[in-house]
Structure 1
Amino acid sequence: MSHNLLLSLLSTLLFTPIFGQVNWSELEPISQSKKAAFIRTAHSKLKQYLVDLDQTEYNLLRDCHVIDMDNDGDFDIIYNGSDGVEGDIVLVLRRDSSQFEVLLHEIGTITEFFMYEKKLESLSILNVTCCGAIHTLDLHYLTLGSPMRIQIDKAYIYYQSTEFPSNNSQAAYREYRVTSPELNMRYSPGIDTTTTVVDAQDAEKTNVIATFPQNARGWIIGKAIDQNGDVWYYMQMRAYPARTVLPYLDYDNLFYCGWMSAKHLQPVEP
């Protein structure tokens, strides 16, 4: 099994999203003075992509990280910080001789940055949407090729108020399918018709965020038991829902995440 394939599998097996912060000081091998001098060499390229560079420039030393991420002897730059009114962005610049090539430009903040044998192997970006949006994206990327490229591996979408499985509620990782004509996905384990309105355009109180058709498939990540004793599975559904308050996004490996009743889910036989 290739190392990238193993990383892809491990990222799928994570049953709660990563909301940590990368310890950049452990990854950066140069002094602050040398770092500042190197960042100045990329000023013109940064200015092309940072809309509010004039406002963020005094934070460049904090938000730019200088790392040789492809082990070619040249330092590269990872910007992980604010872009003023545009919110947080991630900008990955690979240095090739005297030029900087943009490998990744994405809204969000880096929550995982994994190096293997002195090369970047994977990173994760948490994109907490703004301006009235109700969803969050957890994006997982892998690197490939020489010269290095960064490619989206998986995207997980969920309602912003989703309750995640606790660390002691992990379930056996297995593919399941929907057995009923339709099955709702909810942001919490249980039926709630009293406390929440998930869709601003619909006053109905419910914790339903999506509805999947019969035979839709997904993977169980965690489980919980509600106050009535009913079992709920936290699912990553590979299929597109029949209806949802979440957006339909154009990713090859997009997973809708939430809680579904175990009564109407059946394991898929090998």
Structure 2
Amino acid sequence: MGELFTPEAFEETGGGPLYLQLHRLIAEAIASGRLQPGDSLPSERELAAMTGLSRVTVRKGVAELVASGQLVQKRGSGTFVAPRVEKLEQALSLLTSFTEDMARRGRSVESRWIARGLHAPAPEEVMALGLGVGEKVARLERVRSSDGVPLAIERASLSQAILPDPDCVTDSLYAVLQDRGLRPVRAVQRISAANLNAKDAELLGVPPGVAGLRIERISYLPSGKVVEFTRSLYRGDAYDFAVELKLAPEGERNP
């Protein structure tokens, strides 16, 4: 690694700020495979000595890579190249559960439960689920992982009439609803960008502030009744969402 971090690698003029030059050097080494997932970087003091840069410059350059998720820092252990996460493409035209989606890919599924139980509903749950006075809401909150990699935080809300016992959900929520004859057949989803706060980032194993995808889903029974209100956070480095677009029929196009 000594041949990677040398004073000759940095230009005093013309190459931009020195911390950005260090950022580019490490990022290019990761992209080219010179630095592999799990490789340990020299300490801040060692990097400064090897490159001739100040410790402040080194700290800033490394911090940029930690913020982008390319490096991870472990307290008491050091700084490491982050593990590669396989990018998954998710079709937006299919109403599937996380369990079903991963099974189609031949991948394992794990859930880490954060909370599940019956609660008094929040105003947004009353509105989304169309709850009546005195009705409770079943909440399911868990981290969804595949092949040992945390990919999403799922926070689902259902009326107590739909799911009277939240503890009965161990793996797939949709499988439980299927058994009760209450599986949704259509849904409306809204996707927005989000920067993960410290709590959610820790659950997903990424640095705070990195990019994520916030997905809000309201699912419906054939009768039109709302069955599920779910707010999920997905890792931005792990998912691409794709949808097929078709030309509108002749009579529906703008003149």
TM-score, scaled relative to structure 1: 0.28
Q: Which has the larger radius of gyration?
A: 2
More helix by share: 2
TM-score normalised by the chain length of structure 2? 0.29
